[in-house]
Amino acid sequence: MTDYKKSNNSAAENADSSTTLSFHQDDEPVFDYANYRFEDWIAFALFWLLAITVFSQFISRFIFAAPLGWTEEVARYQLICLGFMGACIGIRKNSHIFVALFHRWLPTKVSFRLYQLIATLNVLLIATLAYFAAQIIPQLHIHKMASLDVPISVLYGIVLASLLIMLGRSIQLLLNLLKQPNQLLEQSPSCNQD
């Protein structure tokens, strides 16, 4: 889907490009550790921990016919933690899905102000979620997991930590939107001018 604010091609250029096939593939970007932050490494470790847990569940159930009872519950909780850590990465990269329909038809400055409002509401929502997560942790400390003698508040602690990371990254984005609107206006996929 092409954004009309980005498209500068004429109809003739589009017709020519549709008849000429190009098999040139750009080189893959070079791997660099500097492109990854601590959320990425936590998510990477959680992913492989989840893979090992699910693999051990599969092996114990279908090969040894002696399922490990704790693996199903632990895998479910690991998946929850991985989902929240993935949300942290999405907020850092500003790559969450949003409806760009209105951004296409609104004037550029109005579209950008709407983008700032959405970023502000995002900060408020995540702060509210973090507040409620912090409120519920002490109440759940007495409850244990069904298969392990671990308090369920540990899971909510990880969720709270993820929410705090998301809150920090959302505040960074909002401050960047407020401090450097012209630079971000050029980089924003939905707010580009002709």
- How does pLDDT run across 59-99, given as a tens digit for each residue? 999 888 888 889 999 999 999 999 999 999 999 988 877 77
Over range 112-141, report the average pLDDT: 93
pLDDT at residue 7 is higher than 50: no
Residue 133 backbone phi and psi in degrees, to 5 = -65, -40
Which of the four pLDDT bands, split at 50, 70 and 90, describes residue 194?
very low
Window from 27-31, 51-55, 118-122 with minimum mean pLDDT? 27-31
Distance between CA atoms of residues 153 and 90, nearest Å: 25
pLDDT at residue 4 is higher than 50: no
Dihedral sign computed on CA atoms, order 36, 38, 41, 43: negative
Residue 144 backbone phi and psi in degrees, to 5 = -110, 160
Over range 20-45, report the average pLDDT: 77
CB within 8 Å of 136: residues ≥ 6 apart = 156
DSSP-assigned beta bridge partners for residue 151:
144
Instruction: Give me the pLDDT at residue 113, please.
Output: 86
Instruction: Give me the pLDDT at residue 192, please.
Output: 46
Question: Does residue 109 contact residue 188 with C-beta atoms inside 8 Å?
Answer: no
pLDDT at residue 134 is higher than 90: yes
pTM: 0.75
Distance between CA atoms of residues 192 and 186, nearest Å: 6
Q: CA separation (Å) from 150 to 56, 71, 129, 146, 154?
A: 20, 14, 23, 9, 7
**Which of residues 108 and 130 earns the better pLDDT score?**
130
Which of the four pLDDT bands, split at 50, 70 and 90, describes residue 48?
very high
